[in-house]
Structure 1
Amino acid sequence: MIDRRDMLSFTVLAGAATATPAFAATLADDDHARDFDFLIGSWRVKHRRLRERLTGSDAWQEFDGTCIMQPLMDGVGNVEDNWLDLPAGAYRAVGLRSYDPKSKLWAIWWLDGRTPHTLDVPVKGNFQDGVGTFLADDTLRGKPVKLRFQWSAIAANSAEWRQALSDDGGKTWETNWVMHFTRT
């Protein structure tokens, strides 16, 4: 397998320009540009999510799904095609990520196929000690909330993602969606 730093030194055969030396040097010295390489490929996903968020509910809904992730932009971006088989009706969604080597942060956007003209607010962050934490300010039912995505338990053939919300400025968090990934 070719390391991305090696890929930056040759011309892309499809006619794109070569990477600039400054960009290649930035990536070579960076410790977060490859944070999502573990997710490249095809996955089965077991979803578990709260039926109602920030209401004190403990009623969970479970369903299956799939995910296929591929890198973009020499690995500093990626796109994830998701199939979510909700009991109320299956739908598709897209996770889009991009990395900024200057800030050393990833941004993640979610595009839900049921509302195809609305991108969710991006969460931003990176990985520290094997856990990826990504945060944003958002709203729920017209009220401000903090949104958190976390990636953890990352292994060659499995990973876990969790979404949580906070309505008290991040003092407490309610996990409302858990996804267990198994490589296909």
Structure 2
Amino acid sequence: MNAFRSIRAGLLASILIAGTLPLQGFASQPAAAPATSRSPANRDGQHDFDFEIGNWKTHVSRLQHPLTGSTVWLEYDGTSVIRKIWNGRANLVELEVDGRAGHIELLSLRLYDPALRQWSLNVASSRGGGLGVPTVGGFKNGRGEFYDKETLDGRDILVRFVISKVTADVYRFEQAFSADGGKTWEVNWIATDTRIKGEASHAG
């Protein structure tokens, strides 16, 4: 299986991301985010990612073969650099990590739609060179949730990407797949980012 099959968002988020990638083995379709993941209608969420702007050390754990019963996790370490664009209505993420399983380089473009009050997370791999279909969603009570639907090895699956802020200098990305319409989820990508010492928080 291609190593990037378990990376979405993302993604990561995230992704990192885990977000959406043009990955071998995937046929992607956009999916509207559940109402619970959208920003409230009276809330402007264009600065939701401001806390993340800056340079971070990243530790990634990736489930090698999602939705197969696999319990083998692969570990990576590296950096994430996040730059603010359009005064917060967009941002660009560059992720670069290495581990025994190899080298991963991902680029994520996050875009805020002020009419829908939703974010779209668009991810590309250096191995592919194209943006995939975005995961979409928003933040509520400091937790970001983004969704998409795809096929994996001939099965329809849902993809969930979660961003949670642990402290001012540490936050977490999680990606999970569901093969039963969202009744159960299997986490396959966990990234913990720690702000590089000397970097001030850009939240505001």
TM over 0.5: yes
Out of 117, 127, 133, which is 2:145 matched to?
Answer: 133
Q: Distance in 1 between matches of 2:170 and 2:155?
A: 35
Question: Could you say which residue in structure 2 is the equivalent of 1:36?
Answer: 49
Q: Distance in 1 between matches of 2:67 and 2:102?
A: 23
Q: Distance in 2 between matches of 1:154 and 1:95?
A: 21
Query: Is the CA contact (8 Å cut-off) linking 1:70 and 1:79 kept in structure 2?
Result: yes
Out of 131, 135, 153, which is 2:165 matched to?
Answer: 153
TM-score normalised over the length of structure 2: 0.72
Query: Is the CA contact (8 Å cut-off) linking 1:82 and 1:94 kept in structure 2?
Result: yes
Aligned residue type for 2:181: G
SS of structure 2 residue aligned to 1:74: helix
SS of structure 2 residue aligned to 1:38: helix
Bigger shift: residues 151-160 or 48-57: 151-160
Q: 1:1-184, aligned counterparts within 5 Å?
A: 30-117=43-130, 119-184=131-196
Q: Which runs of 5+ in 2 are unaligned?
A: 1-41, 197-204
- Which protein, 1 or 2, shows the higher relative CO under an 8 Å CA cutoff with sep ≥ 6? 2
SS of structure 2 residue aligned to 1:144: strand
Q: CA deviation at 1:40?
A: 0.1
Query: Is the CA contact (8 Å cut-off) linking 1:30 and 1:101 kept in structure 2?
Result: no
Aligned residue type for 1:124: V
Aligned residue type for 1:183: R
Q: Distance in 1 between matches of 2:92 and 2:71?
A: 32
Say what the alpha-carbon RMSD is for the aligned residues: 1.3
Q: Distance in 2 between matches of 1:91 and 1:53?
A: 18
- Which of the pair has more CA radius of gyration? 1
Q: Distance in 2 between matches of 1:156 and 1:53?
A: 31
Aligned residue type for 2:155: K
Bigger shift: residues 93-102 or 135-144: 135-144
Q: Distance in 1 between matches of 2:156 and 2:50?
A: 33
Aligned residue type for 2:65: E
4+ runs deviating over 6 angstroms: none
Aligned residue type for 2:123: W
Q: Which runs of 5+ in 1 are unaligned?
A: 1-28
SS of structure 2 residue aligned to 1:155: coil
Q: CA deviation at 1:143?
A: 2.3
SS of structure 2 residue aligned to 1:57: coil
| 1:102-139 Cα shifts (integer Å, max 9, x gaps) | 1110000110112223x232111111111100011122
SS of structure 1 residue aligned to 2:132: coil
